[in-house]
Structure 1
Amino acid sequence: MKVYIGTGGYTNDDWIGEDLLYPPGTKQTEFLSLYAQHFDAVELNSSFYGIPGLKAFEGMVRKSAGRTRFAVKLNKVFTHERNPQDSDFDRMLQSPQPLREAGMMGPYLAQFPYSFHRTPGNRTYLRELAERFAGHELAVEFRNQGWDRPEVRDGLREFGLIWVSPDYPPVAGVPEPALHITAPVAYLRLHGRNSGNWWSGESAAERHDYRYHQAEMDEWADKIAFVDGEVDEVYVFFENTTKGHALKNIPMLRQALNARGVPVSAPQPSSQPLSGDLL
């Protein structure tokens, strides 16, 4: 079982500074090259707002130097607006080809909003989406608890979809924090447990303003170690990127997994390390 660990996005001004990921003065065009020296996976956020073209993905391959797997988030037209045209499917499926050719393509991520309830219409839409992405790994995150049912996961297995196992704050209406397996690939998103800001926060940064404790990382390490042998790959993405929380939590999870006999490591940097506790 191969475990890939990274964060939701790599463009974050909170990570610029002494003893952080990006040294003072780092330009945004340099972020990915530095990120890839320390993390072997990343969720691509930019594709949610606009589908990058082939040249943009070629640049990602070049800057990351083959060290990092990319989970590509579906554009909002697929998950929030839910009115994709054939041209949207063509671009979403074809543009990441440079990642595939370089062996750096992870799953697609369909991040549905809380307003995406389990209704007959939405179930039909999800089935049609699965059919259009057949032959590609597609991970699906449901933020509404109505989907958190064994029969839903059975349906995902039938269509070859990956259930996204989320770690949300302990608030009503969201799925429970459990690691479920519906495909040879497991996908975990750690959102933090800021229950005070989850519904009231005005931005994603506020909602994800949370740093996990070691005991919480140990809990997830136990769950990941438990599925060793059941899956080929596990993707773990920390969404609590605010204030550099994820940068502190990733070494904690790595250490906990290694202690449980699940080997994980950071990519070997091609230049000088930026911070000892990141490696």
Structure 2
Amino acid sequence: MTRIYIGTGGYSNDEWLGKLYPAGTKSGEYLSIYAQHFDCVELNSSFYAIPGLKAFEGMVRKTNGRVRFTVKLNQAFTHARTPADADFDRMLQSPQPLREAGVMGPYLAQFPYSFPRTPEHRKYLLGLAERFAGHELAVEFRHISWDKPEVREGLSEYGLIWVSPDYPPVGGLPEPQVHVTGDTAYLRLHGRNAGNWWEGTSASERHDHLYTQAEMDEWADKIALREGELDTLYVLFQNTTKGHALRNIPMLRAALNARGLNVATPEPEQSGLFGDA
């Protein structure tokens, strides 16, 4: 049976005070509390600055082996696209504590809409795949030009994971389907705030969407259809604004369990932390 990990994009969110984190919780305590409720997290801070070994050691210590980490590539790899050898070394070596603890998930390469499918960009992606060979690398494309069967066949050939996204219905973006290019699949749920996707001034505004039960049922159906094709599935909610993801995750868990997929809910070491998110 497919092992399904469900979590959020990042965990350091002050908006969650009084929801997931009790009022007055210090930011240094966020991850320890997060680990009591979710078994996966997408590390977003690495996009801005690659953490060092000690930072990753601290993550392992605070989660006590309860959380699987996916690690977003630094913007030098996906946006500037001018990574130096030192960037590769740090990106590949720093998460070693996660590997040693058995909680390392895929790296995530999130390319912007300004990265369409061109010969130059295809060549760059191939070079990136070669440098990350031997490590799981999930790739998210925002531009619809990549959303083709032959692209997914190429990813499968090079051992790359196609990131299945849920975007607002605004056009120009990949379709919301679960595609499989290997034993591991990766789903990123961005919300469906069509009005703010292009016009929003921040990621918080773009991801300001609370999924309905019908929308969660829709994704549960799509996931259930892939049961048996996968060893592992990561589902990462990006709609963390206003605590939306905190409400949607239990909805998806219940929908998946209702379809016969065994999705575990971590047992909190303390009670009363989740509140009325």
In structure 1, the residue matched to 2:196 is 197
What is the TM-score with the length of structure 2 in the denominator? 0.98
User: How does 1:1-279 map onto structure 2 within 5 Å?
Assistant: 1-17=2-18, 20-275=19-274
**1:217 alignment partner AA:** M
CA distance in 1, matches of 2:272, 2:67: 17
What is the TM-score with the length of structure 1 in the denominator? 0.97
CA distance in 2, matches of 1:85, 1:268: 42
- Secondary structure (helix, strand or coil) at the match of 1:201 reads coil
1:256-276 deviations in whole A, cap 9, x for unaligned?
000000011222222224136
Which structure 2 residue ranges, 5 or more long, are not aligned? none
The alpha-carbon deviation at position 66 of structure 1 amounts to 0.6
Q: Which moved more, 1:243-252 or 1:258-267?
A: 258-267
The alpha-carbon deviation at position 172 of structure 1 amounts to 1.2
CA distance in 2, matches of 1:146, 1:171: 15
**1:14 alignment partner AA:** E
- Secondary structure (helix, strand or coil) at the match of 2:108 reads strand
The alpha-carbon deviation at position 168 of structure 1 amounts to 0.1
CA distance in 1, matches of 2:258, 2:228: 17
- Secondary structure (helix, strand or coil) at the match of 2:266 reads coil
Q: Contact (CA 8 Å) 2:189, 2:238: kept in 1 or not?
A: yes
**2:123 alignment partner AA:** T
**1:88 alignment partner AA:** D
The alpha-carbon deviation at position 53 of structure 1 amounts to 0.3
CA distance in 2, matches of 1:272, 1:113: 40
Structure 1 runs of 4+ off > 4 angstroms?
none
**2:36 alignment partner AA:** Q
**1:269 alignment partner AA:** P
Q: Contact (CA 8 Å) 2:238, 2:245: kept in 1 or not?
A: yes
CA distance in 2, matches of 1:202, 1:64: 33
Q: Contact (CA 8 Å) 2:73, 2:110: kept in 1 or not?
A: yes
Q: Contact (CA 8 Å) 1:251, 1:277: kept in 2 or not?
A: no
Aligned residues: 276
CA distance in 2, matches of 1:190, 1:72: 16
The alpha-carbon deviation at position 277 of structure 1 amounts to 6.6
Q: Contact (CA 8 Å) 2:21, 2:274: kept in 1 or not?
A: no
CA distance in 2, matches of 1:93, 1:58: 15
CA distance in 2, matches of 1:275, 1:25: 14
Q: Contact (CA 8 Å) 1:47, 1:73: kept in 2 or not?
A: yes
Q: Contact (CA 8 Å) 2:142, 2:173: kept in 1 or not?
A: yes
- Secondary structure (helix, strand or coil) at the match of 2:76 reads helix
CA distance in 1, matches of 2:276, 2:232: 25
**2:80 alignment partner AA:** E
- Secondary structure (helix, strand or coil) at the match of 2:128 reads helix
Which structure 1 residue ranges, 5 or more long, are not aligned? none
Q: Contact (CA 8 Å) 2:106, 2:136: kept in 1 or not?
A: yes
RMSD between superposed Cα atoms in Å = 0.9
Q: Which moved more, 1:165-174 or 1:262-271?
A: 262-271
**1:33 alignment partner AA:** S
